[in-house]
Chain A
């Protein structure tokens, strides 16, 4: 019944033009639910405000807990194009904004030369530009602004962050040969960071901030029920319980995120498991634990106790 309702909402959302600046919090929540994203009320409130105020949303927090996924789901739910700028060290403007298509320019020059005319300004027209994410985000068709995901901004260097600041203020890109391109309607911007480097105050000031922490057990159960169809409810509870113990009681270098929980649940489902036991957990632990020094911490008695803990709590 509930699913039918959600499905209807999704269809309605896809067919009618949804103005993201006018949606209510409830609509936002069910739209995200309908595409399989389960969000806390606090996140919904923040996202809602960021849409309302037209400010970028800055997400920091534990890895694998749905930062990137939020932007994807948002574009899905509102039927918007997703433009993703994946940041990395040394990211420069030619990969972030635009680049001239030298090869085609060269061909054109050859052609013009062959026909006897002189290559002129035609070479520097919009046709010969390779649009990178930021330029694409401001040259979209006007009615439906895309979702611009600036992923892992902490990996780009400070210089780029400075540029980004300017970009976010104006949503304008200037190409010396062609002039300025300004978005008629600014895109919906989601910025994520994994905190490998402290972001500047300027960028923070531009954005609304949300810290994505590990979900509560209930929320994680909900995510499992959406993402891993056919998983037994009792087993799901044990899974969530065990992951929680791992996060809270072991001093792990890399705590398992939601992504790991989902992976593990899928693995257990494919093994047709009914309940957790130490042996089974040890076999499948690589889904959850990605750091070799962590593997040593979760072993032997500690592991047995953790499994008991998780199964006792949930049974």
Chain B
């Protein structure tokens, strides 16, 4: 596992690259992070080349990449290095630099480099990794809670309890085990049925900043139960749970990265939902709870989106929508995508809800208080 401090730095660096006109989608980020597993991240040259070959894929971007790399990774003292947004033309063409001359010029002393990952950082790595495990635990708990979001639907299985109905069979058994007299009654109640979860994760470019959380979510949701189905979508939709079930997180990340060509492109929620309806309609029934994770930035047409979501709503038990944007203070569901689907949702919540202890439980309580579910 690469240290989460480095991973966070990579995410920040990708944001910087993006702000400077690099087209970096999820597949680039995943490649980069998985590649770092194979190299010595304390070797600056190796580290830089790994980032470069996974993130900068055009010749004319290389000078700018090197400039940004040097500025970003040589500034260990600043929390958020403020690097001016460069005019790309000026940086790449202007100074007459060719990739090769810049490559040769950009040697920075190894000492500086080690500072970028100071011992403090490496110390804190262990703690952060542990947090990561706890984080996964929380996520798992939350997903389990989601599975039981609809307790009103009693299942066919029963469990013993102190209330409910008299369980004749169990009463008879226990009396036979004794002397044969009917001495005490046994009770049982219907076990609440689990919902089948259908998780739809938006992996389009606009969701990039949440890559790590999404990966984690896709992984946990696929592995926590065997009845859930997990899909990733951007302009198209792809089922992923069967690809990564039973794999280690690293393997899963690699598989998702290599098998999905859809990371990082635009979004067509409507199209994705309608292909869900046509190809996976057998998964949609009243015991299904649909969980959508998306920021609702939609490039498709709104009419199609409305049709699909209303049809899905009619078939399933409920739809919950988790939106990373909704975590910010003062969020209003105003984008065309979100305002279209809003009437069909049981709830719209922030993504962080899934990652906080008891987050889902609180959400469900809120929904019930307002008369939902």
Using CB atoms and an 8 Å cutoff, list the residues of chain A in contact with chain B.
41-42, 45-46, 48-50, 52-55, 58, 60-61, 165, 169, 195, 201-202, 204-211, 213-214, 216
Contacts and interface: CB of A to CB of B under 8 A. Distances in A.
Contacts of B100: 213-214
B99 A49 contact: no
Given A48-B38, A54-B258, A201-B23, A209 B57 contact: yes
Interface in B39-79: 39, 45-46, 49-50, 52-54, 56-59, 62
B264 to A, nearest CB: 7
Interface stretch (B27-35, B183-191, B291-299): B27-35
Contacts of A60: 59
Interface residues of B, number: 30
Nearest to B28: A205
B121 interface: no
Contacts of B28: 205
Contact of B49 (A46, A169, A206, A214): A46
5 contacts: A46-B49, A53-B258, A60-B59, A209-B57, A214-B100
B53 A208 contact: yes
Contacts of B168: none
Contact of A61 (B39, B50, B59): B59
Most buried by B among A58, A211, A214: A211
Interface of B: 23, 25, 27-28, 31, 34-35, 38-39, 45-46, 49-50, 52-54, 56-59, 62, 98-100, 103-104, 254, 258, 261, 264
B258 to A, nearest CB: 7
Given A60-B59, A169-B261, A205-B28, 17 more contacts: A41-B49, A42-B45, A45-B50, A46-B49, A46-B53, A49-B35, A49-B38, A53-B38, A55-B31, A58-B57, A207-B57, A209-B53, A209-B54, A209-B57, A211-B62, A213-B103, A216-B104
B150 to A, nearest CB: 38
A211 B261 CA distance: 23
Contacts of B103: 42, 213
A295 B261 CA distance: 48
B27 A205 contact: yes
Given A46-B49, A208-B31, A213 B56 contact: no
